[in-house]
Amino acid sequence: MLTKNQLDSRSFFFEIAPGADSGASGFITLLAAAHALRNATQNAQPNRTILYTFFQGETFDYIGSSRMVYDMDNKHFAVDLDNVHSVLEIGQVGLRADSKLWLHSDPVSRRNSSVNEEVRKLIDNLQSSATGLDFTVQEPNASQPLPPSSFQRFLRARPIPGVVIEDHQSSFSNRFYESMYDNAEYLKVTYPPNMTPEEQLEFVTDTAKALTEVATMVARALYKQAGGAEEQLPNINADPQIVTQMLYGFLVRSNNSWFQQLIPSDFIGHLKDSPTNFYIGVHQQSSEPTLLVQHLLANLTGSTMNITQENCQNQREDENDKESKHLYSYMWVQGAAPTNSTKREGYCVRSTVRLSKALSPAFDPLRDFTSKDYSTWTESRWKTIKGRIFLVASHELEMLTLGVGFGVLLTSLLLTYFVSSKADILFSSGREPTNATY
């Protein structure tokens, strides 16, 4: 069972790409769902494994997902396409009209009876999991193509059952898609006045409550789709506090006390007193959202290990452990600072979170720069844009300047005329007669 979402966004200005609804609403929901499933999957392991994936470069012709499909097809990934039972993708889910979400599926692949049957099961699981929540999920009335989604790259390889969750039926409800205005304010992540940053971090907004319900539905549907026990479903609930902290961290201020606890000390310099920039490019530090999501997913789904920092950084649980590094990844994070202390209490997190490069197969390994199958986007040049601003004077000052100019002109003309007409008198001097001799 594969669940996925895109991490990146873009806008006209590469340094301002907040992607609140186009990207963040979806992957925050998926992170919250993964956290809600941690205890349930540990207490009663479902029959199928749930794989969470977050793709970079999707706004540039699906770089991350096309690379993953390529690696799966060529046996270079931990999971083959043959082992993907079904796919659930979370798209834009932050701007729901009339509290509805729409379940989009591919009409072409559903012509296959076995694919159609699994899609039908997934849709039923999603609809039943929304029972009792403050929204409904529906299918579009008419058969229509999938909206822009990473799932399309998987369907190009082979027909796979899958559903894409969106907040629109046929056309985007996000008026500022891939724009600098697709930000926290547009997603209605707002706070009462006079709140400190720490108070805002803990304040559960209405948007956080709405996304928490979506995450709860996703988590329950995934557990059912993976063959989990029905009696566990009521215990699967997303945490609104986690959702509101992620919304604040990604869309308002990444340099906050919660994010600081979950990352290594050498990554602290990447946190800023501003929203996370989801633009991905050559010169842009695109690793920031990737590493943030990596550490969040590890902390939300992994476990804390009582081992030394040295063993943690050496990817092992004890001196004699030679195999754990192949099963798990270990990361030493800063942890929280005790009251009245500046020294943090770090700890080791063990998880199954891994990074895989999101590089178009057209560049590596194919080196086919005219490929029509894979993305060939690149950046050829960055040039600083400069401009000069001239202030326009007020109308009164302009008239005064014009009047003074005319006055000076008339004065100079009169003076010139006077001097010219009186030149004989003004410039005459006593001359000696021409017949004077010496």
∠ CA 203-208-210, rounded to 5°: 140
- Both tokens of 313, joined, read 């950084």
245-275 pLDDT, tens digit each: 999 999 999 999 999 999 998 888 889 899 9
130-187 pLDDT, tens digit each: 999 999 999 998 789 999 999 999 999 999 999 999 999 988 999 999 899 999 999 9
For residue 303, name the pLDDT band (cuts at 50, 70, 90).
very high
Start-to-end Cα distance in the chain: 125
SS3 content of the chain, % helix, strand, coil (to 5): 40, 10, 50
CA 28, CA 93: separation in Å to the nearest integer? 10
CA 160, CA 326: separation in Å to the nearest integer? 29
CA 356, CA 226: separation in Å to the nearest integer? 24
Q: Enter the pTM of the model.
A: 0.85
How much is the average pLDDT of 79-98? 91
Q: pLDDT at position 153, please?
A: 95
Residue with tokens 């709140």, as numbered in its chain: 195
Q: For the chain, what is the mean pLDDT?
A: 89
Of 281-290, 348-357, 386-395, 405-414, minimum mean pLDDT range:
281-290
Give the whole-number percent of the chain exceeding pLDDT 90: 65
For residue 1, name the pLDDT band (cuts at 50, 70, 90).
confident
Q: pLDDT at position 286, please?
A: 55
Residue with tokens 């849709």, as numbered in its chain: 123
How much is the average pLDDT of 185-193? 94
Q: Which amino acid is at 404?
A: V
For residue 363, name the pLDDT band (cuts at 50, 70, 90).
very high
Q: Name 103's bridge partners.
A: 165
- Greatest alpha-carbon span in the chain: 138
**DSSP 8-state code for residue 270:** G
Determine the length of the chain. 438
Q: What is the full DSSP assignment across 35-85?
A: HHHHHHHHHS--SS--EEEEESSTTTTSHHHHHHHHHHHTT-SSS-GGG--
CA 216, CA 221: separation in Å to the nearest integer? 9
DSSP three-state, residue 218:
helix
Q: pLDDT at position 148, please?
A: 92
Of 86-95, 229-238, 335-344, minimum mean pLDDT range:
335-344
- Cβ atoms of 58 and 247 within 8 Å: the answer is no
CA 139, CA 375: separation in Å to the nearest integer? 31
For 384, phi and psi rounded to 5 degrees?
-65, 130
Q: pLDDT at position 314, please?
A: 84
318-330 pLDDT, tens digit each: 656 666 667 889 9
Residue with tokens 């971090």, as numbered in its chain: 201
How much is the average pLDDT of 348-362? 92
DSSP three-state, residue 348:
strand
CA 90, CA 218: separation in Å to the nearest integer? 9
CA 233, CA 218: separation in Å to the nearest integer? 11
Nearest to 177 by CA among 101, 95, 251, 285: 95
Q: pLDDT at position 22, please?
A: 93
Has residue 436 got a pLDDT over 60?
Answer: no
65-86 pLDDT, tens digit each: 999 999 999 999 989 999 999 9
CA 259, CA 203: separation in Å to the nearest integer? 16
Q: pLDDT at position 10, please?
A: 85
Q: What is the number of other CB atoms lying within 10 angstroms of the CB of residue 235? A: 13
Has residue 434 got a pLDDT over 80?
Answer: no
- Cβ atoms of 169 and 96 within 8 Å: the answer is no
Q: pLDDT at position 110, please?
A: 94
